[in-house]
């Protein structure tokens, strides 16, 4: 998925936080809602400007960000 096609960051929109392109819905809002247990369907109802693809893009972005930020565990050497 090309999640970067759906996500933008502009200093003039929401203080530069990443948002879904064409909206003022921040990735933080979407991720926090999902973490609290909201379903994608509930998010779509609460934010009618979002699509299922937008929600998947937010999750993909978060996964890629986590991969960059987390140190890789050391692999034990076989003796």
pLDDT digits (tens, 9 = 90+) for 28-41: 999 999 999 999 99
Residue 40 lies in a domain: yes
For residue 31, give its domain range: 3-69
**Structure pTM?**
0.80
pLDDT at 23: 95
Residue 59 lies in a domain: yes
- The helix (run of H) or strand (run of E) holding residue 20 is strand 19-20
Nearest to 53 by CA among 21, 18, 10: 21
Query: How many structural domains is the chain composed of?
Result: 1
The span from the CA of 2 to the CA of 66, in Å, is 17
Residue 62 lies in a domain: yes
Dihedral sign, CA of 56, 61, 64, 69?
Answer: negative
The span from the CA of 35 to the CA of 27, in Å, is 12
CB 13 within 8 A of CB 21: no
């Amino acid at each position: 998925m090309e999640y970067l096609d759906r996500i933008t960051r502009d200093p003039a929109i929401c203080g530069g936080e990443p948002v879904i392109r064409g909206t003022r819905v921040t990735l933080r809002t979407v991720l926090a809602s999902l973490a609290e247990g909201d379903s994608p369907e509930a998010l779509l109802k609460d934010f009618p400007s979002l699509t299922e693809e937008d929600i998947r893009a937010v999750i993909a972005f978060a996964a890629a960000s986590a991969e960059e930020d987390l140190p890789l565990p050391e692999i034990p050497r076989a003796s």
